[in-house]
Structure 1
């Protein structure tokens, strides 16, 4: 019995040993199959090369363009007011908003009856004053003649007194005769004083009538002015705006605003600039330079464009919120109207020895990625002079002639080797080479993909779908065959 038990134990140990050997052989065989399916030992990972769009840096003369926003304003504007009230007797058919008028055209006429009557009364008063002036002139002449006659009478009376005194001295005359002559002389002197007083009154009457004539003429002029103000005319060629709705026969009051005339050919644009922008548009004396401007108004896909030059700047910075308000006169602005909100492009003084790059090529710190002789990237600092939309103007310095990355991304940086894609080669780089596969080669490639145990199922499905196409990318075929060992 002991022999039988030992024999059975030996058989059990032999069976366990054989099972372990078979398990070891299976594990080794599975490892060999997996290794053969993977295409041999893993190859060393090559250096990653990223494609990048590059462009050359070329220096030259560039005129920066400054973009701002402003409002079109009218230079010549006339407010139409009624100098006096009255009834509207005549109205121009173009007296409406937007109506085109010419210089001297009658826009509105008030009833002139009262003004005409006042003018006629003033004319009559002037004629009466002129008649009184002529009468005063004639009276002055008579007064002068009367004074001359009185002076002559006094001279005769003086001679008569002297003659009576001479006769009395010879003893031939009497004292009564001398007294009579002296009394006549005194009367002549009194008449002379009266003539002088009459002359003074005549001269005063002439002065008063002259003043009256002047007043009458002023009244007539004022009456004619009031009569002329019953007609409202256009002072210059333009268009009407803000017209009051009046009708023929309607009443208007004195000093009432009837509308305004705007000259559409005399326009300017007012726009705001920062202090730094304004500093680039002034001369050595601090006055703004006459830089050319382009005004653009985008309307439903179309653009109304006008050109002009900077004319002046605002006197205060407070009106621009710390910046400056600049005014530019427009040469010709067809289609533009006062109040339009427009885009203003100002041509700054040109810059020499500068380069223009895409804004995506320069980071916030003013650095670009430049390509060296080994197609590796270097971080180089540049001086950013202007930013214009999606472009920047830089001082390139030593970068002239070199190539820089046009679009920075998180995948590229200093020291990385890139495959440069230059302008004109984007299409070739975007279209990989394709090859035709025979059915046997296609089946072998699909089998190699399916037998790769380390590849995720989603990736396998993607690759198999690509391999089933009529033409397959050549780099995909080369990669699968390399992993499968040929």
Structure 2
């Protein structure tokens, strides 16, 4: 009985489990059918609003600045060469690389003994030539006197002959007396001819003496020039470079001794493209009277120089494009030939142009402006210049509009935006200042004081700033970058 009761209970529980399983399958099947047949609930879509930075477009007159890189050169660079050969016996005390000399200083003196001997010898030759000229002059005077005496003799002999002929015509004279008088007259004329020849030879002797004097003067002048060339002087004040001679050395004619560079008369040469060169041309075809500034980065301080455009190269150069332009620097303290500088040239002012960030201009030449209901609109503009991170543009109906300063792929015409306007009246933020520790300040001061490439004026400015309680962080970073720290 107990087994039967337990069996019935098992069958009952199995029947209940099967019923519950069938019911569960039915419930799940109904839920799946209901899920497949019912329409999904769609939530209302919301339009995305983008926050954008805007800048008010205001037209004004702007002077574009063309930027390039150039090299400082000296307008006066002279190669010092030996005009005569000989032994160097004297050098200027500053005859060395970077030695400073003044105009008129004797830089190199070559042994003048041989040149002095030549001058003395030619001076003696000149004295001989002048003595010969004086002797020839005296001989000419004597010859002319003898010629005059011979002429008088001819006149007397001719008168005597005429008188004998007259006497013979009157029957008083004889034929022998006439022949004797005629022979005497002929002899006198022969003597006169000899005296004339003597005068001609004396005149030729004077001409030869004059020619000899001229040749002696030319030779003496050349010898004196050679003597003067033994002392090589500085034609202008400057700095010596590439010195190659020492005292006691034998130098040849034309040998290069050093270079003399004028560090105060400087210019900068830089390369520009053809399009940039066209913008620097005046209506008459020459360069415009543009202001030029050159900047040299020296240990945290930019050394500035100013100047004006002076000339342009005659050709583009082998393997180059564009034009090479030269600008004369009128005020360039601290610069030296060979410095690599950044050059900025002020172009002709542009009127009625708008300055915008470069990120505001799209690749299609359009900008996005704020329209009605705070939605964006596309406005075409004309690009005039690129100035670093800014562009200069013109566009119809652009004046007074709010322009998106930074474009992204998500922004386009019709997009709804939340404007963030920039306040153009705010001043530029002041440079960040640092309070230096005593050790750090001392290290910076020691580095600046030991810097040989920094001009004294720039060094004084940097030291004055380092002495302040707070120092600009940018300057500290630039100095430490050169320290390697």
- Aligned-residue offset at 1:107: 0.5
The answer for the alignment partner of 2:127 in structure 1 is 127
The answer for the alignment partner of 1:197 in structure 2 is 197
- 1:266-287 deviations in whole A, cap 9, x for unaligned? 1111111111111111122322
2:239 and 2:14 map into 1 onto residues whose CA distance is: 120
2:125 and 2:194 map into 1 onto residues whose CA distance is: 33
Structure 1 residue 390 corresponds to structure 2 residue 403: no
Query: What is the SS of the residue equivalent to 2:124?
Result: helix
The answer for the alignment partner of 2:455 in structure 1 is none
The answer for the alignment partner of 1:145 in structure 2 is 145
Taking the TM superposition and a 5 Å limit, the aligned residue runs for 1:65-464 are 65-244=65-244, 246-319=245-318, 321-423=320-422
TM-score when normalising by structure 2: 0.78
Unaligned runs of 5+ in 1: 1-7, 29-40, 426-486
Q: Structure 1 48/316 Cα, relative in aligned 2: closer, same or farther at 3 Å?
A: same
1:131 and 1:345 map into 2 onto residues whose CA distance is: 72
Count of aligned residue pairs for this structure pair: 409
- Aligned-residue offset at 1:305: 1.4
- 1:310-364 deviations in whole A, cap 9, x for unaligned? 1111222345723111111111212222222221111111111111111111121
The answer for the alignment partner of 1:476 in structure 2 is none
Which segment is superposed worse, 83-92 or 42-51? 42-51
2:47 and 2:180 map into 1 onto residues whose CA distance is: 157
Report if aligned partners of 1:61, 1:350 keep a CA contact under 8 Å in 2: yes
Report if aligned partners of 1:57, 1:396 keep a CA contact under 8 Å in 2: no
- Aligned-residue offset at 1:209: 0.5
- Aligned-residue offset at 1:13: 7.2
Query: What is the SS of the residue equivalent to 2:374?
Result: coil
Report if aligned partners of 1:292, 1:307 keep a CA contact under 8 Å in 2: yes
Report if aligned partners of 1:319, 1:325 keep a CA contact under 8 Å in 2: no
- Aligned-residue offset at 1:423: 2.3
- 1:190-230 deviations in whole A, cap 9, x for unaligned? 11111111111111111111111111111111111110000
C-alpha RMSD of matched pairs (Å):
2.8
Which segment is superposed worse, 124-133 or 65-74? 65-74
Query: What is the SS of the residue equivalent to 1:374?
Result: helix
Report if aligned partners of 1:132, 1:209 keep a CA contact under 8 Å in 2: yes
Q: Structure 1 15/86 Cα, relative in aligned 2: closer, same or farther at 3 Å?
A: closer
Rg larger in structure: 1
Query: What is the SS of the residue equivalent to 1:254?
Result: coil
Report if aligned partners of 1:272, 1:320 keep a CA contact under 8 Å in 2: no
Which segment is superposed worse, 371-380 or 152-161? 371-380
- 1:35-67 deviations in whole A, cap 9, x for unaligned? xxxxxx996343222212211111111111111
2:394 and 2:229 map into 1 onto residues whose CA distance is: 66
